[in-house]
Amino acid sequence: MSIYQDIINAIDNATNIVITSHKSPDGDSIGSSLGLYQFIQKMNKNVSICHPDKAPSFFNWLDNFNAIHLYESAPNKVSELITNADLLFCLDYNHLSRVGDEMQVVLEQFNGKKIVIDHHITPSIDAIITLSDTSVCSTCQLIYDIIDYSDKKQLLDVQIATPLYLGIVTDSGSFRFPSVQPRTHEIASEMLKLGVEHYKVHENTFDTNSISKMKLNGYAISEKLEIVHQNKIAIVSLSLEELERFNYQKGDTEGLVNTALSISGIQVAVLVTEQQEQIRLSFRSKGEYAVNIIANEQFNGGGHKYAAGGSSNISLKDTLDKLKSLLPNYFL
């Protein structure tokens, strides 16, 4: 029996199922959660989605987006759903800390069965089944394979496939990252045959920029872009005051680090943003440069070779000074 069928059987044998994913949701976490949620619903099982916090508004076009329970706004409801579950899915994260300190406590107290489906390195969650494959571009690709390689393939439809397609597109950089496999394109083709309107997924996700977001991104590139260390590394930093000046909304800096990476000759790009509680760092790279190492070793984070994130609890200035002093040790 395959691991894919084992996961299906675990769903069949469960009564109350909860799907979780990481804090600061992205297309892969939202897409995998909604795709699996709609699949489990079609298996006529009781299922809920519980996330730490809200996703950016450019994902709200997805079916059942508003069915996601948020710990940040309804901690008691999320705690109740998780406590009463007998099967918990951990999607797109490799450590319980990725859900945030408060929700992590709830997951640590959970006594039921866990299933991990993820594509990040070194998974450390105690689970009855762990489907972890760092070679794939997205958790959504793994979710699709679970359904496709099981005895429930007949349940696959456009409603399930659309959020999974979204997750594949966003986590693969629109199919341009090295993690894209022939299988990725095979799945995309199968999804289009199911009726996924790929152009609408793109329009609904990427063509929803506000004027303030465009002005913020323009300001960031024109005024806050630094090219350092032999013109190989780009850094963009934004203070809380600068974000507020441009009426910052969650998701407004999405893609900004990739814009910096797209500059000719740049091998590594870092976006550093000041939040209310901490400094956030977003790393991107290409070629031989792996950014997940510096994110893990120096900034309490991690991720993929070419895309990683981290945080800092010191000031924005001190974080930038630390970053600039460390970059030559990792990339030169």
Domains of the chain: 3-206 (3.90.1640.10), 211-331 (3.10.310.30)
Neighbours of 264 (CB within 10 A): 5
What amino acid is encoded at 320 in this protein? L
> What strands, in cross-sheet order, belong to the sheet with 16-21?
68-70, 46-51, 16-21, 87-91, 113-118, 129-132
Measured in Å, how far apart are the chain's first and last C-alpha atoms? 47
Q: What is the DSSP letter of 274?
A: E
Q: How far apart are CA 242 and CA 220, in angstroms?
A: 9
User: pLDDT at position 1, please?
Assistant: 63
Contacts of residues 184-187 at CB distance under 8 Å and 24 or more positions apart, as own/partner, are 184/136, 184/137, 184/141, 187/141, 187/144, 187/145, 187/148
Q: Where are the beta strands (DSSP E) in the chain?
A: 16-21, 46-51, 68-70, 87-91, 113-118, 129-132, 225-228, 233-238, 268-274, 279-285, 302-303, 307-312
Q: How far apart are CA 331 and CA 267, in angstroms?
A: 9
The residues that bridge with 228 in the sheet, in sequence order, are: 233
Asked whether the beta carbons of 94 and 22 are under 8 A apart, the reply is: no
pLDDT in tens, the chain (332 residues): 699 999 999 999 999 999 999 999 999 999 999 999 999 999 999 999 999 999 999 999 999 999 999 999 999 999 999 999 999 999 999 999 999 999 999 999 999 999 999 999 889 999 999 999 999 999 999 999 999 999 999 999 999 999 999 999 999 999 999 999 999 999 999 999 999 999 999 999 999 999 999 999 999 999 999 999 989 999 999 999 999 999 999 999 999 999 999 999 999 999 999 999 899 999 999 999 999 999 999 999 988 899 999 999 999 999 999 999 999 999 97
CB within 8 Å of 313: residues ≥ 6 apart: 278, 279
What amino acid is encoded at 165 in this protein? Y
CA 132 vs CA 72, 128, 152: distances in Å: 28, 13, 21
User: pLDDT at position 234, please?
Assistant: 98
User: pLDDT at position 332, please?
Assistant: 79
